[in-house]
Amino acid sequence: MNIEITEAAARRIQEQLAKRGHGLGLRVGVRTSGCSGYAYALDYADEVGDNDVSFEAHGSTIVVDRKHLELLDGLRLDFRRDGLNQMYHFDNPNVVDHCGCGESFAVAS
């Protein structure tokens, strides 16, 4: 199982943690949502629990609950700025379709 963190995403995670004043890293997961089935869920990670796996790169950490690993394995997390827009971008090899609004995604069953 692997999750890749780009340098841009690592910098953004570090910026957000510095602004917050504490934290270990970024927690990445999925939740049931939208018309396609799943949406990404982001939160701060203050610890790595017994059911978690952590991934580190470029001085930043991503924490994932083991129950989400199957949907996130191979994920490449990036952070992109395009004009006034800035957001995390998820390149997930498990995704087979996106909904029209871009909020949710589907995976092969």
pTM, two decimals, is: 0.89
3-state secondary structure 64-85: EEHHHHHHHCCCEEEEEEECCE
> What pLDDT band is residue 99 in, cutting at 50, 70 and 90?
confident
| Whether the predicted pLDDT of 1 surpasses 90 | no
Tokens of 63: 């924490």
**Which band of pLDDT confidence, cut at 50, 70 and 90, is reported for residue 109?**
low
The tens digit of pLDDT for each residue in 24-63 reads 999 999 998 867 688 999 999 999 999 999 999 999 999 9
Mean pLDDT of the chain: 92
- Answer whether residue 100 shows pLDDT above 80: no
Kindly indicate whether the domain formed by 4-107 is annotated with CATH number 2.60.300.12.
yes
b/e 11-47 (16+ beta carbons within 10 angstroms → b)? ebbbebbeeeeebbbbbbbbeeebebbbbbeeeebee
